[in-house]
Structure 1
C-alpha cells in the first residue's frame, strides 16, 4: 500500500467532513418534511434500499445502532405508517420490517435535487474518471463501514 502524503490526507479528510456535514443537513431537512428524526429517516432509507424486508437485527448491522435503539426506530416508523412488521414466510418465528410503498413514493420528490446534483457533477467526468471515482467511493464505504459502523 502506498503512503499518502499528509497534505493529500488533510485535503481528503476535509472533503469527507464537508460532504458528511452537507449530507447530514440534507437528510435532516428530508426527515423534517417526513415528520421523522434524522436517525429514523436514515434507517428508513436503509430499509428502502434493501432487497426486500429486513429483520431488526439486519437494520442494526447496517446502521451501527443497537438492536434496542432499532426497535424504537421501527416503532416510530410503524406509527408514522412508513413500515410494517410482517411474519417471515419461511420462519414464522421471525419478524421482518417491510417498507410501505405508498409512503416511499410520496416523498420521492425530496430527493430529486440531490439526484440532479449527482448527475451534474458526473457529467463533467469521462467514463474512465467515473470508474476511478466509483472505485474510490466503494472502497471508502467498505473501509468506513468496517472501521466505524461495525466498530
Structure 2
C-alpha cells in the first residue's frame, strides 16, 4: 500500500502543479489535460481530431468544442485540414503552448530524467511496466 499511497501523492502534487499552470495561463484544468492528450498523440504519430479528444477527455461534443475554442483563442491550438482527407479537421498544438509547458514543467521533466539516469535498465523497465499497468487499471484509452 505504501507504493500506492506514494503514487497518489505524486498525482495530487502533479495535479496541483497543472492547476497552477492553468490559472497562470488563463485556462481550465480540462484545457491542460487536453493539451497533454494532444501532445501525447503527436509524440505517438496519431492524428488528433475533436472526436478523439472528446473520447480521451470523456467529454461530449459541446464540451469538446468549448475546450478547443478556448485553446484556439489563447493561441495554443490550431484546427488544420488533414492533407490526406481535406474533409477532416485535425488539432495541432501550437509552439506557444509547448514553450509555456516547457517553461513551467521543464525543471520537473529535467529532474525526473536525471533521477532515472541513476536507475539501471531493469529498474527503468520495472517503473515503466508499473506505470503502464496503473494506467491500464485506470482505463486510460491511450
TM-score norm. by structure 2 comes to 0.82
1:20 to 2, 8, 11: 11
Counterpart check, 1:136 vs 2:124: no
RMSD: 2.2
Tell me if the contact between 1:85 and 1:96 (Cα under 8 Å) persists in the aligned partners.
yes
Counterpart check, 1:99 vs 2:93: yes
* Runs of 4 or more above 4 Å deviation: none
Structure 1 stretches of 5 or more lacking a match?
1-9
**Which moves more between the two structures, 89-98 or 127-136?**
89-98
State the 1:89 CA deviation: 2.3
Once the two structures are superposed, the pairs formed by residues 58-69 of structure 1 within 5 Å of their partners are 58-69=52-63
Alignment-derived partner of residue 27 in structure 2: 36
Structure 2 stretches of 5 or more lacking a match?
none
Q: Distance in 2 between matches of 1:19 and 1:34?
A: 23
TM-score norm. by structure 1 comes to 0.78
**Number of residue pairs the alignment of both structures matches:** 139
Tell me if the contact between 2:75 and 2:96 (Cα under 8 Å) persists in the aligned partners.
no
